Amino acid sequence: MRCPFCKKDNDKVIDTRPSEDASVIRRRRECLACNKRFTTHERLEEMPVRVVKKSGRREPFDREKILGGVMRAVEKRSISLEEVETLVGAIEREVLDQSDREISSRDIGELVMAKLRTVDEVAYVRFASVYREYQALEEFITEIRTFNPGGGGSRAGANGNA
Ligand SMILES: [Zn+2]
């Protein structure tokens, strides 16, 4: 973070705290060049949560994926787009609250199912069946990798800095 006083990019974080609605993180910083202190406000989007898949691969959390899954699940049900948005917003907030910035795909799936269940039982069952199929597929892919480690893969060094 660039110091607003001397413009050097060399600081340490003294204090970190979320704002009331947890969408913004406030950081107190001290410039190591001029020793002045300043505060930054970072939107959570700038600190992406990563989703850890069953295979161990990580990808950035994608709100649109959850929205898509929920939309499919509530298709032809009497649930308004507004309700869907509220639901997805609540899921997103819980995901972004993860203090270690990582969440397993399994935890996300459970979270979506738990929320969906409170809104519509049919949508819940639909989502759950798609989700379980997906989990089984992930498990299958993981097994193949185990039998054939590195075979034909081109993702060199993918696990190098775990
Ligand atoms: Zn400075």
- How far apart are the CA of 40 and the centre of ligand 1, in A? 14
pLDDT at 109: 92
Dihedral sign, Cα of residue 25, residue 26, residue 31, residue 32: negative
How close is the Cα of 93 to the center of ligand 1, in Å? 34
3-state secondary structure of 113: helix
**How much distance in Å is there from the Cα of 139 to the middle of ligand 1?**
50
pLDDT at residue 160 tops 50: no
Whole-number pLDDT of residue 150: 56
Cα-based torsion angle of the residue sequence 2, 49, 159, 161 in order, rounded to the nearest 10 degrees:
30
Cα(45) to ligand 1 centroid in Å equals: 26
In this predicted structure, which of 2-11, 63-72, 128-137 has the lowest mean pLDDT? 128-137
Neighbours of ion ligand 1 (CB under 5 A): 3, 5-6, 31, 33-34
Residue-wise pLDDT tens digits, 122-158 = 999 999 998 888 888 777 777 777 776 555 544 444 4
Quick one: what percent of the chain has pLDDT higher than 70?
85
| pLDDT digits 0-9 by tens, 94-131 | 888 776 788 998 899 999 999 999 999 999 999 999 88
pLDDT at residue 154, rounded to an integer: 47
Ligand 1 centroid to Cα of residue 48, in Å, is 27
Distance (angstroms) between ligand 1 centre and the Cα of 30 equals 8
pTM across the whole model: 0.59
Residue 51 exposed, middle or buried by CB count within 10 Å (0-12, 13-18, 19+):
buried
Q: What is the pLDDT of residue 22?
A: 64
